[in-house]
Chain A
Amino acid sequence: MSAGPTIEKLLAASPYSLPQTEKRQILTERTRELTRHHYERCDVYRNLLDRIFGGSKALQFDALEDAPFLPVSLFKTQDLRSVDPAAVVKTLTSSGTTGQAVSRIHLDAGTAHLQTRTLVKIMQHFLGVERRPMVFLDHSNVVRDRRSSSARAAGILGMLPFGRQPFYALREDMSLDVEGLQEYLEKTRGQSPIFFGFTYIVWQYFVEELEGLGKRLSLPDAVLLHSGGWKKLEALKVSPAEFRARLSAAAGIETVINFYGMVEQVGSVYFENPLHFLQASIYSDIIVRDTNTLEPLPPGRAGLIQVVSALPESYPGHSLLTEDVGVVEGCDNPATGMNGQYFRILGRLAKADLRGCSDTFQKPLPRPA
């Protein structure tokens, strides 16, 4: 599917420029195109639509809420592709602890290109067009093996092109290289460095480490980007506000931006807006659904998050029901200087253990580290 007029409309606009109604209209049109595109090119997707969504009538929907969706975990068990295997240039895999199934996302050149274009636009909105020095709060070995498919490696590799002179602030044993970092910051003084890391690594190996060492950095012109879920910090009872406050106290970083994204929809990421909510760009949107009935919910009510992205052409991942729970907090708010919906993630849906009779001697769940 070569870039059609609908995606061109989105690519021509800046990422937070369109008011919600207008954006929804274009995104819905694009979603109809993508749904038909995958229906015609992916046998498994066509079977699913025929068997679960009533067949070709599922291709005709007026509201985005009525578009078919797949549960995101389906990419862990099925190989879903809408292009020839030969056209696949890259297969992304999700994180996952040992033994857990991982998602496999097949990208062709066109989809990879779309992802890069939109990611650049979103990043530039927050960081400017100038490439800035980049500090990774991780160790370099995470990415040394290019075949390595961990989410940490993917995140760093995805971020690399947006900075220059990359510096890895952690040693392989996850200890903070304070001297090296200070030297690097000295060299790049006045150039507004970008820090990037996974939320819990930033917390445990940077903030707490600086606090323990009694070091205090002063980086008023730096930006810290972080991602990767709050589960570990929640267990430590660290709120987003405390995370920012302690980062500011220990590292002197005032601009901290969290973002929400997933390997199944790379490119259309959700960055934190000035109100500290996650802002949808024009390339994607969310729908919140009741956990039990799956009915769409109005803003202010928490439910399962469905993510709809304008980008996926090589795999049928344009409309996915996640297992994250969130709530829409507002829309087109002038106070944010951005158009579109914004929301908050409340966490992963708690799995009720549907206990089979065979888990009598199930091992207790490990305590969070």
Chain B
Amino acid sequence: MKVTTDNQLQVHLLAPSAGVRSVQSVQSVLSMSEAPAEPFSANRRQTLGRLSRMILQDAELRADAGSVALGYWLRTANIERLAQAFERRQEAEPDVVFVPAGRVFHVAPGNVDTMFVYSWALSYLCGNRNIVRVSGQQNEVLLRLLHLLSRQMQEDPELAEGNRFLTYEHNQSISEAFSQWSTHRVLWGGDETVSLLRTLPLSPHASERTFGSKFSYSVISIAAYLAASTETADKLAAGFFNDIFWFDQMACSSPHLLMWVGSAEQTDTALDRFDQALAKEIGRRNYRGAPSNAIHRLNFVFNLACEADLSADLDQKEFLAVRLSDAAALRKDICGGGLFTHLQVDELSKVAAIGEERDQTITHFGFSLAELRELAQKMGARGVDRLVPVGEALAFEANWDGYDLIGDFLRRVTVRLKSRAW
């Protein structure tokens, strides 16, 4: 590390924060204390529980669905579940002592304001020290979350000493200094960020996890959907509403394509029912998206319609459902802001045929566990990381993009007393 250079490099420290715009040298960021920590310590679990309460009691954050979901995810009951899973992990491997990975450098994505907390919280829980770089385009939710973290740090020296939340404009030298410092690097933020930062060298002993750009969709059984009660159809619409409209449909796991599996003759009836149920849900919630979303959807769909045989209905409010007649015309382009494509296929195996490496979440309705497991198997190495019920697309899990994040944030030290040869 070039110490002299690092001293001149500066970042905006957001938590722990001394002021609105606290500027610090990279060198001082890197001089965090080296106190050893144990994974899933009581103190760390309690800290996350306190953060959960702070978020859920905060008037501003309570109005933001993503923050509420984060607040629930951090609550003690959920953290205890993770701790129990960790205990089972220890029991399953009696020859292993789990220790923290050490120093983790997180680069958080710009599209989901709460994401940096999930990535950090798991790593923190595992006992690591963390540098978390958040997007420079901070909005109120992000700043509010950082404010709460800062506040908690004032009462919690361990939290304050071992964690730095900061931002800086793209600067190779700064990213390089943090990369060199780290023993594990996590790059969120899609293809561009990953290819931009992946080339920066890590310590030869360090590991890395990267999250490229993703495409997510849904599979729905036409027969099951038509057989569903009004109550079920309404619940499903509510689930789709959350999956689609949170984060303006720009999260990695937000669905952009609805694949209707079943008979072609029944498709129109099913799609009509669906579009109406979603419109009803939008009305019930009095939802009004960003003013530019409608024109954004129009621009997308008019361009698409120049090339692909589709049908669309501009009378739809706050969303635009495009019906595609032929799977061959399918392009996995992302519009966002309430645009999705309906596509009918005869059987679930056809879904596997469109699978790609970048596929992430499939939300589902109307299939059996056996069918879904078979689909996962068929898609195999080619793609898809999660198959979860409609409404849970955005629910963060410690297994993400097919990786065990807790496992990433830990190091496994083998300790064996007796020789195997004996």
Contacts and interface: CB of A to CB of B under 8 A. Distances in A.
B213 A356 contact: yes
Contacts of B250: 354-357
A350 B252 CA distance: 24
Size range of the interface on A? Answer: 35 or more
B293 interface: yes
B334 interface: yes
B355 interface: no
Majority SS at the chain A contact face: loop
B230 interface: no
B162 interface: no
Interface residues of B, number: 53
Given A47-B306, A70-B302, A357 B170 contact: no
B104 interface: no
A78 B306 contact: yes
B137 A355 contact: yes
Residue of A77, A292, A304, A363 most packed against chain B (CB within 10 A): A292
Given A77-B303, A356-B213, A357-B250, A362 B298 contact: no
Given A48-B306, A353-B137, A294 B213 contact: no
A362 B334 contact: no
A71 B213 CA distance: 28
Contacts of A213: none
Given A358-B192, A362-B110, A52 B301 contact: yes
Interface in B289-326: 289-296, 298-299, 301-303, 305-306, 309-312, 314, 317-318
A323 interface: yes
Contacts of B249: 354
A44 interface: yes
A293 B169 contact: no
B169 A363 contact: yes
A350 B293 CA distance: 10
Contacts of B248: 352, 354-355
Contacts of A291: 291-292, 294-295
A53 B314 contact: yes
B337 interface: yes
B335 to A, nearest CB: 8
Given A51-B312, A356-B334, A361-B193, A292 B170 contact: no
Interface string B273-292: 00000000000000011111
Majority SS at the chain B contact face: loop
A72 to B, nearest CB: 9
Contacts of A354: 248-250, 293, 296, 336-337
A324 B249 CA distance: 25
Given A52-B301, A352-B293, A358-B191, A294 B336 contact: no
Given A48-B305, A357-B112, A321 B317 contact: no
Contacts of B129: none
B111 A359 contact: yes
Interface in A322-351: 323, 349-351
Contact of B299 (A44, A53, A74, A358): A74
Contacts of A363: 169-170
Interface in B106-160: 107-112, 135-137
Contact of A361 (B170, B298, B303, B318): B170
Contact of B190 (A70, A323, A360): A360
Contacts of B340: none
A242 to B, nearest CB: 27
Interface string A62-103: 000000001101100110000000000000000000000000
A292 B214 CA distance: 27
Given A292-B289, A352-B290, A360-B193, A73 B299 contact: yes
A364 interface: yes
A51 B305 contact: yes
Contacts of A350: 291-292
A361 B303 CA distance: 28
Given A360-B108, A360-B135, A47 B189 contact: no
A362 B196 CA distance: 11
Contacts of B334: 356
B188 interface: yes
Interface in A290-307: 291-294, 304
Contact of B293 (A292, A321, A358, A359): A292
A77 B197 CA distance: 32
A357 B249 CA distance: 11
A59 B208 CA distance: 58
Given A52-B311, A52-B312, A71-B298, 11 more contacts: A52-B314, A74-B303, A291-B291, A352-B337, A355-B110, A355-B137, A356-B111, A356-B213, A358-B193, A359-B111, A360-B190
Q: 7 closest pairs, A vs B, by CB? A: A358-B190, A360-B189, A352-B290, A357-B190, A291-B291, A361-B170, A355-B111
